[in-house]
Amino acid sequence: MKLQKILSRFLKLHKKEIDLSLDRIKHLCKKLGNPQDKINTISFVGTNGKNSTIQASYSILKEAGIKCNVYTSPHIQKINERFVFNNQQLKDEELASLFEEVEKINDNKPITFFEILTACFFYKAAQYPKNLNLVEAGLFHRFDATNILKNNMASVITSISKDHLDWLPENERTIDKIIYEKTSKLLNSNIIVAKQNTISTMEKIKKTIGENKSNKYYFDEDFSYSFRENEFFYYEDKFGGLKLPKPNILGQYQLENISTAIALLRILDLDIKDIHIKDGIQKINNIARLQKIESGKLKNLVKDNLFLISGDHNEDGARVLNEYLESLDCRKHIIIGMMKNKDHKKYISFFKDIASITTVDIKSQPNAISGIDLKEKFKNISHVNHKKSIEEAIKAVDLGKGDLVLITGSLYLCSEVLDLN
């Protein structure tokens, strides 16, 4: 397949998956005419909630008739998911053509996979100068390929916690360092800070961005939400309050992400009407983030029971995922696969009152921990099993009426579920 061949060539351009520097992408974008300087961009940084906040923002913007380009990572099933222009994913042939054009201009110079993809996005986005660009940072932000913009409309800081620690020196694997890497080089425009896990994290963010001359807006100070009725939640900021319907995505923590998106769009004065918000939050497309699987081959194995997938893989993700599980009155079964570089014991420790845990391999990922080794990591937990495949794991669950099956631990594992289903 043509597209896959190009992607294989991209992967070979640099010996490292990640090499924290802005030199290579700046050099390539200069050869492309510095397209990043010609677009209207909102930047999203953080550990958890970036994609969900982008998808909520995007859904509302579409309802308002605003044309968007959207750049997110990683993709779940197809690379096309990362490249949305004029509110449409690029088709395979369009994406291949874009890649080939940038590949030719790059002229085989060393550049990482993420960097050249980011350059491709900027290059294509510049062809739609009136569109609004929603851009998700990759690893950290200070030396991330998305951080070559000269200006933007706003930066959104979602929840920050410990993750990707293996990319930091051992003596710098702290929340302070992560906050610095993600927020110290934000542009001077508007900064919207989402709800954080602790008061301490919020205060450290405030200190880090203290000298930034942006207009700053903080959750609980400048915008907030409350959940008072089963079918509604309430959003409030300086522009007034909104009584909003429950969104179409699960988890109360998603109300935090949606509230951040609403704050962003109201602050920017984009002529977003209340009806756009109400309709938009009921049409959010949020793949593999507490996603309910309604049909398919694997769903048939679960029968009438609730079947969820969620690619959470760090302690903050586990915490909010367990909060959702605890809100349900049923037996819960977890099927889990993870990457080697994650804190496996810490992740699973957040889940309480789980009827069974089954570990599996993530077959598509050579850097995943094997299901056998993951089971060994969980040896002090009762009711832990191992199965070779996702299908075998589901079949082995002792399902009772009204039980829940959750597959979690990695977005890559969720991708395999969706492919199999």
- 20 with 155, same domain: the answer is yes
The answer to whether residue 163 scores a pLDDT higher than 80 is no
Domain boundary among 280, 306, 336: 280
- 226 with 311, same domain: the answer is no
What distance in Å separates the CA atoms of residue 210 and residue 193, rounded to the nearest whole number?
A: 13
State pTM to two decimals: 0.95
pLDDT band (50, 70, 90) for residue 142: confident
- 227 with 339, same domain: the answer is no
Domain of 300?
A: 291-420
pLDDT for position 66: 98
The mean pLDDT of 113-137, rounded to a whole number, is 97
pLDDT for position 165: 67
Torsion angle of C-alpha atoms 96, 101, 105, 111, degrees rounded to 10: -20
- Residue 286 falls within a domain, yes or no? no
pLDDT band (50, 70, 90) for residue 167: low
pLDDT for position 137: 95
Question: Are 365 and 293 within 8 A, CB to CB?
Answer: no
Q: What are phi and psi of 339, to 5 degrees?
A: -80, 155
The answer to whether residue 223 scores a pLDDT higher than 70 is yes
DSSP state of 339: B
CATH classification at residue 197: 3.40.1190.10
The answer to whether residue 96 scores a pLDDT higher than 70 is yes
- 200 with 321, same domain: the answer is no
pLDDT for position 171: 80
Q: Structurally, how many domains does the chain consist of?
A: 2
- 271 with 303, same domain: the answer is no
CATH classification at residue 322: 3.90.190.20
Residue 416 has which token pair? Answer: 């395999």
- Residue 179 falls within a domain, yes or no? yes
Residue 295 has which token pair? Answer: 């049909």
Average predicted confidence (pLDDT) for the chain: 95
The answer to whether residue 166 scores a pLDDT higher than 80 is no
Domain boundary among 280, 312, 340: 280
61-72 pLDDT tens trace: 999 999 999 999
- 164 with 267, same domain: the answer is yes
The answer to whether residue 140 scores a pLDDT higher than 80 is no
pLDDT band (50, 70, 90) for residue 162: confident
The answer to whether residue 250 scores a pLDDT higher than 80 is yes
- 249 with 334, same domain: the answer is no
- 338 with 251, same domain: the answer is no
pLDDT for position 324: 95
pLDDT for position 227: 85
What distance in Å separates the CA atoms of residue 230 and residue 245, rounded to the nearest whole number?
A: 9
The answer to whether residue 20 scores a pLDDT higher than 90 is no
pLDDT band (50, 70, 90) for residue 231: confident
Question: Are 117 and 10 within 8 A, CB to CB?
Answer: yes
- 203 with 330, same domain: the answer is no
The answer to whether residue 164 scores a pLDDT higher than 80 is no
The answer to whether residue 368 scores a pLDDT higher than 80 is yes
- Residue 374 falls within a domain, yes or no? yes
181-219 pLDDT tens trace: 999 999 999 999 999 999 999 999 999 999 999 999 999
The answer to whether residue 309 scores a pLDDT higher than 80 is yes
- 59 with 186, same domain: the answer is yes
